[in-house]
Amino acid sequence: MAKTVFREYDIRGIFAKELDEAMTKKIGYFLAKKVPGEYIAVGYDARAHSPTLFGWLTSGINAAGKRVLGMGMVPTGVNYFSNYQTFMINDQKVTPSASVMITGSHNPPEYNGFKITVDKKPFFGSDIYTLGEEVLGSNIVIPDREDFYPINAKERYIAYMLENFAHLQNFGQKIAIDCGNGVAGIVVEPILQNLGIMYEGLYCEPDGRFPNHHPDPSEEENLRDLEQIMKQKNISLGFAFDGDADRIAVLTQQHNFKGDELAIVFAKTMQNPTVIGEVKCSQVMYDEINKIGKAIMYKTGHSNLKVKIAQTSADFAAEVSGHLFFNDRYYGYDDAIYAMLRVLELVYRGVDLDAEVASLPKVYNTPEIKIHTSEETKFAIIEKLKEALIAPPTDFPKMQDIIDVDGVRIMFDEGWALVRASNTTPVLVTRFEAKSPELAKLYQQKTIELLKKVAHAINAPIST
């Protein structure tokens, strides 16, 4: 059980049961040993146990001979932002060598975890797994030592946004925001108030119990209150944030904009843009962006996309779920609050979001369809599927190409199918898109039939 908290993109588990005092202290200790400099900036989300984890993690970092810059409760975007700032500590200028965000993101209230940045780069994959091996293999006992240097990262972040979006002063129309009782409100509200932007706020008070709805804006049921207030108040533009405010939903009264749709709109405002999308993004996004610049298909996962941005100097990256990464005029990480301001800027400059989406080629796509299997067999099923596609069944739709950058994306004549293994749960994630609903259904049916067949061949458990 303890091993499962060390995941592909972060460390995450149930507070006290999986992330207990001894483990958290050791995470802080062994992580600090890997950090090149002296100072590690640490912030936390709205969950009731986040301050406790902060104390335990700080003890571990101090035991390793490093020092903690404590920023208190902040959104994840503020935590990332701190890596690019210089703070005064004991009359010396200090820039963090790493940061840790204590957050359970959009998970239920009993969960918590750590998102880690080292030397401005995401700490993920093999780095996290190696850290896990060191933590679980050690019997070191770390004493309490929770002293830290407070820093004003939140205030610095707000000032940065006010300066860079000063042209939005008196935006001119009222918007709606739903912070989901996550941490977004402590930053979004002062920014909007100082810019003179009128807004209707829902659940802006941080409450880690999430009493009103689950803080995951990618699920339609969690947007109902926002949709209702927009209709009641005749508000044409709304935003919803996840628990730590690194994912966003953008709504008008006509449409719920996915990340790949927003990528197209933003790309049109950039000169010869390079844009990275995950394998779940619509083919329309890739086709439209390639008309004006360059679109790159890459692996799902916020850490993967941040690394790819750094490698390619891309202007922007997007995940369908609402992780938006601006390297154009920003630092290349996912920050839903910054994304909101960029959307407001589009509207301020006259962009009609609904008209932009209405002008795109019409396709029909499914939401993510999750197929349950086991941790031990999920990647083996993908490899077996690749083999089966070399000589598919005679009734399988005609294929144009197979893209295996992350799982299997099967390109058909008039659409595509995606099957990939989740990096964080024992499921296969599927998605289908076509030029008609009938074709999308056919692609889904035939792909899942083949998937079941290859799973059966290796005695892998599978359930839809």
The three state secondary structure string of 50-117 is: HHHHHHHHHHHHHHCCCEEEEEEECCHHHHHHHCCCCEEECCEEECCCEEEEECCCCCCCCEEEEEEE
Which class for 353: exposed (0-12), middle (13-18), buried (19 or more C-beta within 10 A)? buried
SS3 5: helix
Residue 59 annotated in active site: no
Catalytic residue among 247, 323, 420, 431: 323
Residue 361 has what DSSP assignment? P
Q: How far is CA 17 from the centre of its chain?
A: 25
pLDDT at 271 over 70: yes
Q: CA 46 to CA 52: how far, in whole Å?
A: 12
Whether residue 17 contacts residue 48, with contact meaning beta carbons closer than 8 Å, is answered with no
- Told to judge if 323 belongs to the known catalytic residues of this protein, a careful annotator would answer yes
Residue with the bigger pLDDT between 424 and 381: it is 381
Assigned architecture for domain 364-457:
2-Layer Sandwich (3.30)
Q: Is there a contact between 101 and 43 (Cβ–Cβ < 8 Å)?
A: yes
pLDDT at 73 over 70: yes
What is the third-level CATH fold of 2-151? Alpha-D-Glucose-1,6-Bisphosphate; Chain A, domain 3 (3.40.120)
* pLDDT tens by residue, 413-459: 999 999 999 987 899 999 999 999 999 999 999 999 999 999 999 99
Domain ranges of the chain: 2-151, 165-358, 364-457
What pTM, to 2 d.p., does this model score? 0.95
Buried/exposed 420-433: b ≥16 CB within 10 Å, e otherwise: bbbbeeebbbbbbb
Instruction: Please choose, from the candidates 95, 98, 49, 102, the residue with its C-alpha nearest in 3D space to the C-alpha of residue 74.
Output: 102
Q: How many CA atoms lie within 13 A of 405 on its CB side?
A: 16
Whether the predicted pLDDT of 94 surpasses 80: yes
* Residues 302, 340 contacting (CB under 8 angstroms): no
Does the annotation count 349 as an active-site position? no
Inform me whether the pLDDT recorded for 1 exceeds 70.
Answer: no
| Count of residues making up the chain | 464
Tokens of 127: 């780095």
d(CA 379, CA 376): 8
165-358 shares its CATH topology with 364-457: no
48-83 burial, b if ≥16 CB within 10 A, otherwise e?
Answer: ebbebbbbbbbbbbbbbebbbbbbbbbbbbbbbbbb
The CATH number given to 165-358 is 3.40.120.10
Active-site pick, 7, 12, 47, 106: 12
pLDDT at residue 18 greater than cutoff 70: yes
pLDDT tens digit string along 155-172?
999 999 999 999 999 799
Q: Which of 139-143, 193-197, 367-371 is least confident?
A: 367-371
- Is residue 334 scored above 90 in pLDDT? yes
Which of 82, 99, 105, 303 does the annotation list as catalytic? 105
What are the pLDDT digits (tens) for 20-48? 999 999 999 999 999 999 999 999 999 99
The predicted-structure confidence for 291-315, as pLDDT tens digits, reads as follows: 999 999 999 999 999 999 999 999 9
What does pLDDT average to over the chain?
A: 96
Query: What span, in angstroms and rounded, lies between the C-alpha atoms of 232 and 212?
Result: 19
Give residue 46's pLDDT: 97
Confidence of residue 342 (pLDDT cuts 50, 70, 90): very high
